[in-house]
Structure 1
């Protein structure tokens, strides 16, 4: 074969290559947003660097600003060796886009791509994170750095602020332990209306814990401080992005006015010395900077704060040693931010649940059950579309559980026997041996996942599917 024939064949091969169909995403218009799932390094401080999986080269991933009611497309590229799922927490969107295997959302394949399209809403602070199961692999799912915030804007004026801050609470390098004290639930002083007459005293299984923490990607003392001036008004958006713990945070020397929970305006804004957030919960707070100094904003538990859960707030012209003052003891109670009772009729449909823990129910790990059974609950919770439902959550365990229902908002109408109304949330902490009651409308067809937002609890049985027909 002569050189001319080789060149001709090469040209035909090139033309053939160009003629082959391009990947589907290459034929589509450019997406509004792009997320790349890939290994990242998080430098918590000069002595600690974490290797994990994140979005777009960082953890947390980029803040995504969307407009309520305006459809968006998101290209998700998975540059890892395992399938992934990106869940849009707090969004009311179709199950296909919601990003959960249980709802039959398609996965993002290893070294593959998926485009999702949805209409963002409701407005307010939402977030996105991996919804892959981890089980006993602490380098998967929620234990990685796959999390980031979404702010859905509706065009309405939210007020005049000198600074707007987005702060995620996070723990790192999780490990299994059977001995560490669990002080995160912060609800032991609340009424224990659901405490069983007989407590299971079998030895507890291993649980996931951590001793390394950060706000955003920096541990306390690392990174730049939050610089403020006297008299400024700050709007702070908090998100507890931990897959492990509930947390309480405070800004030493200052009061925080809670104006929103889970991205939704509260009926009654209220001043608090600290804010308690279950895993997955968010809070919007206003702070008037009226106490000049150099202060610590961080976790109220000394060990957690000194382990990194904090940042420095520095008034202009001051370079003092950062100061911490314990906030006054306050019971965190949703009723502080709610109306005395709901203005909606009491739903005729009632779903009554009780939560239990089976110590070492799966080898060295605990199993979590709803109404005596772990996931799956085949055809157990079947809802009629458009109907209103009352969900009674009875916690028969010694943990405070942040319960989340995908693709719906619910109204909290009772907490430990106290009536309330008007408070709309997507994640509700059911207290230690306590009870929470919420009302919601089954307005989303198909499957909706209900689960505890602590990753290990969810992985080991603490979830159920609601089927709306």
Structure 2
């Protein structure tokens, strides 16, 4: 079943009730039994989510909460997870950032099975590598903005290894999401409201509300801290299409990991950029007592709700926001300056949009002038190192995700780097980024733009192993 035939059989999914995701984390160790009781249970179900004062969202979520239940697993310990689909349409769950087999990865393009409405499917895998991963639906949406990653189907997936990422006193998981999507023209108003800042015209998706975890700014409980604490913040952009830029006035973020992988050069920054599906682990030293807003650097996004209050013990008053200095996000500052090893083979991949086709109001996307499912697969041989030259020939930003593998970022524009390991990289308009991966996990492997709108309309390609 391809994404288009899946859509034609899909009904509208309904929607989500909130859970305070700042609750203490619970550790778990799976047994990995393929028979008997599963280690974890997830239920895809409609529910209602109260995100702000008088603002109610109907969506689909996991176990009636947004984000879904925290899954804390042990690296190398086999686990079973039963997923029950209590919705009205077929669906599936993708375990984002894990090096697991294609059947359990959760992408229909790789051969993962869809879960029919009313059915339960058991995923069985050995989680690796360690770090901040996440899980989410990988269903198509096309013009139905109530399904796919537009919905509340996402949650944190923390894989614990032998080493702690850093010394900290408190850990907090913060997931960003946008709600009430609608079709809008991609014009000047979108540039003012969106961190994506498109350069071209056409149809796009805009949003009415935004949340961090289950609530808009000013609703729900604040992050409560004490002076002198070191807080580990795990930040996830779980939006369907919106890249975000965040700041916490009076504080800085020491970035220690990206997409769950330790960075070779931890750096302290005042502003964070998170493309769709990216994660950042950052340590924040609480040394500016007061009541602050951690939120979007865009005023209109904060007005939509994209923020959360940070409150020091013993401090009261209205939360304070101060605009940070304007800076450009630079991946290279977290990497090594030495060049990466030469690859065994290089694939040059050029992305473009070719306008709307077949009556669609959205642009169709191509890789080397072909659109999914007609894109040519990339053929690789196990054990070899491959370089993908990602050439963005469009005016949009593209967060490129590689399934089942971790890649090394080897060049941003004209600057060679090494050591920065990720599974999502944001390629800016008319820019080129190079990434290397080792073909060390045989099976069908999907590469795509993680913006739901782009993925649905052609921006996907498979990697296949020879032999």
Task: Provide the TM-score with structure 2 as the length reference.
Answer: 0.89
Aligned residues: 430
Partner of residue 356, structure 1: 352
Partner of residue 242, structure 1: 239
1:153 is the counterpart of 2:149:
no
Pick aligned residue for 1:262 from 259, 269, 276: 259
1:181 is the counterpart of 2:190:
yes
CA deviation after TM superposition for structure 1 residue 27, in Å: 9.9
Partner of residue 207, structure 1: 204
**Consecutive unaligned residues in structure 2, runs of 5 or more:** 1-32
Does the CA-based 8 Å contact 2:34-2:80 persist in structure 1?
Answer: no
Cα RMSD of the aligned pairs, angstroms, is 1.6
Q: Note closer, same or farther for the CA distance 1:30–1:357 as it changes in structure 2 (3 Å cut).
A: same
- Alpha-carbon distance between aligned partners in 2 of 1:444 and 1:27, rounded to the nearest angstrom: 22
**Consecutive unaligned residues in structure 1, runs of 5 or more:** 1-25, 189-198
SS of the equivalent of 2:103 reads helix
Does the CA-based 8 Å contact 2:74-2:161 persist in structure 1?
Answer: yes
Cα distance per residue 1:12-55 (max 9 Å; x no partner)? xxxxxxxxxxxxxx993211111000012111012101011000
Cα distance per residue 1:157-179 (max 9 Å; x no partner)? 33331110000011001100114
Does the CA-based 8 Å contact 1:185-1:400 persist in structure 2?
Answer: no
Partner of residue 294, structure 1: 291
Partner of residue 403, structure 1: 400
- Alpha-carbon distance between aligned partners in 2 of 1:238 and 1:357, rounded to the nearest angstrom: 30
**1:426-441 aligned within 5 A:** 426-441=423-438
Does the CA-based 8 Å contact 1:131-1:142 persist in structure 2?
Answer: yes
Does the CA-based 8 Å contact 1:248-1:299 persist in structure 2?
Answer: yes
SS of the equivalent of 1:35 reads strand
SS of the equivalent of 2:337 reads coil
CA deviation after TM superposition for structure 1 residue 185, in Å: 4.9
1:171 is the counterpart of 2:168:
no
**1:372-411 aligned within 5 A:** 372-377=369-374, 379-411=376-408
Pick aligned residue for 1:367 from 364, 383, 391: 364
CA deviation after TM superposition for structure 1 residue 436, in Å: 0.3
- Return 406-415 or 244-253, whichever deviates more: 244-253
SS of the equivalent of 2:333 reads helix
Partner of residue 335, structure 2: 338
Partner of residue 456, structure 1: 453
- Alpha-carbon distance between aligned partners in 1 of 2:36 and 2:443, rounded to the nearest angstrom: 29
Does the CA-based 8 Å contact 1:36-1:79 persist in structure 2?
Answer: yes
- Alpha-carbon distance between aligned partners in 2 of 1:155 and 1:257, rounded to the nearest angstrom: 22
- Alpha-carbon distance between aligned partners in 2 of 1:233 and 1:406, rounded to the nearest angstrom: 33
1:443 is the counterpart of 2:450:
no
- Alpha-carbon distance between aligned partners in 2 of 1:39 and 1:163, rounded to the nearest angstrom: 32
Task: Provide the TM-score with structure 1 as the length reference.
Answer: 0.89
- Return 261-270 or 327-336, whichever deviates more: 327-336
- Higher radius of gyration, 1 or 2: 1
CA deviation after TM superposition for structure 1 residue 359, in Å: 2.4
- Alpha-carbon distance between aligned partners in 1 of 2:170 and 2:402, rounded to the nearest angstrom: 32
CA deviation after TM superposition for structure 1 residue 138, in Å: 0.7
Does the CA-based 8 Å contact 1:337-1:423 persist in structure 2?
Answer: yes
- Alpha-carbon distance between aligned partners in 2 of 1:382 and 1:245, rounded to the nearest angstrom: 32
